[in-house]
Chains A and B, each alone.
Chain A
Amino acid sequence: DTAVSQTPKYLVTQMGNDKSIKCEQNLGHDTMYWYKQDSKKFLKIMFSYNNKELIINETVPNRFSPKSPDKAHLNLHINSLELGDSAVYFCASSQEAGNEQYFGPGTRLTVT
């Protein structure tokens, strides 16, 4: 059984477009996260939700908007995509904030 899943796995799009990435976890965790891993492999947190409530919002452009319809789902919508948005985006979940986190398979976003 997949614990944390993301769709799509790959996303190729042009500058200026709007795209969404979806994440679901079946672990019963209360907290979910979005991370960005750039070409240098540095993993940086973007957002965190605890039970549908935003608890962490790092310095991320307003073009990125997370949404959590319920505690098992966390989506990421990106407006007006830029070349610098090209990266791998990982979703993760944990029982509580700051605890062990489990990662989804990642979404490789390429902006051309």
Chain B
Amino acid sequence: QKEVEQNSGPLSVPEGAIASLNCTYSDRGSQSFFWYRQYSGKSPELIMSIYSNGDKEDGRFTAQLNKASQYVSLLIRDSQPSDSATYLCAVDSSYKLIFGSGTRLLVRP
């Protein structure tokens, strides 16, 4: 069974800090990697996708991918209380996405 592992948290950071969220995956054949944000009681919302090794930046978000280490991360700069949510890592495997259990992020004002 292909797996995606995330630390469940909560990860607590002060407002304005950098939040670092990590994810490891087991399927070496995976080519596409995604980060979703899910607020309590809401549906997952796609915030970043990354397909090649290295960094990809979009506003305050940076996704990092290292296929050799089977590792994906998401950095959130200048964290805001509105970033408090659960962040789900998703990895493609055999034409479907395998989701991690999510890391709960808490940004303290």
Contact = CB atoms under 8 A, between A and B. Distances in A.
Interface residues of A, number: 21
Nearest to A91: B43
A24 to B, nearest CB: 15
A66 interface: no
- Give the contact-size bracket for chain B: 20 to 34
A97 B99 CA distance: 15
Contacts of B10: none
Interface string B27-50: 000001010001000111110010
Interface of A: 33, 40-45, 48, 55-56, 90, 97-106
Given A44-B99, A103-B44, A105-B43, 7 more contacts: A40-B101, A48-B96, A98-B96, A100-B46, A103-B43, A104-B43, A105-B42
5 contacts: A42-B101, A56-B96, A98-B96, A100-B46, A105-B43
